[in-house]
A = this chain, B = another copy of it.
Amino acid sequence: MTSPIDFYFDFSSPYGYLASHRIDKIAERHGRSVTWRPYLMGVVFKINGRTPLREIPLVGDYVRRDFSRSARLHGVPFNAPSRLPISGVAASRAYYWLYDQDPQKAKALAQALYGTYFVDDKNIAEPDVVAAVAESLGIDSGAVTEALQDADVKNRLRQETDAAIARGVFGSPYVVVDDEPFWGNDRLDQVDRWLETGGW
């Protein structure tokens, strides 16, 4: 029972961002690590015909209110981005490119990218923004820019997204603990309890 927890998320997802501030602390309390797995939720939406909550009448107003309220509740810095959604392609490619060299540094990059988007309101869909964030972490920005157009890197993200969907992943955040799936930032307390008790 010591395999890593899988944390699936889309870089454009406010609830994924909120969960990113809590998931590692929860896992650590139970002696577990977390593998961060960004993927492209838009691919799922094309498959199952869903629409992002914030684009649905009535629901949109509610979730915009809920993003901020949930952030305040958990003490997570949050500024509603002026552009939402954005493409998570560049951020996700940079993540996997770095992950294959240094998983811990890749997690730090993902955290920095999430903050750049959901706190600083900068558009992480732009390769230049991703490269600048990487540079601030001591990663060569030229290498990042090059990697974003690399066929193997592109393919890596495609495979990760396909593997996520094949596993039944459809939302963000979506956490898998020993094959038990939990969808949503509002399931993190259940994740905590599941790790504590091994199930119920």
Contacts and interface: CB of A to CB of B under 8 A. Distances in A.
Interface stretch (A61-69, A98-106, A120-128, A139-147): A61-69
Given A73-B190, A200-B72, A59 B65 contact: no
Given A47-B57, A50-B56, A186-B184, A168 B62 contact: yes
B187 A62 contact: no
A71 to B, nearest CB: 10
Interface in A143-200: 165, 168-171, 181, 183-184, 186-187, 189-190, 193, 200
> Is the contact region of chain A dominated by helix, strand, or loop, or is it mixed?
helix
Contacts of A56: 48-50
Number of copies: 2
Contacts of A190: 69, 73
Nearest to A183: B62
Contacts of A73: 190, 193, 200
* Contact size range, A: 20 to 34
Contacts of A50: 51, 56, 59
A58 interface: yes
A48 B57 contact: yes
19 contacts: A44-B58, A47-B58, A48-B58, A49-B51, A49-B57, A50-B51, A50-B56, A58-B168, A58-B169, A61-B168, A65-B181, A69-B190, A69-B200, A72-B200, A73-B190, A73-B200, A184-B186, A186-B186, A189-B189
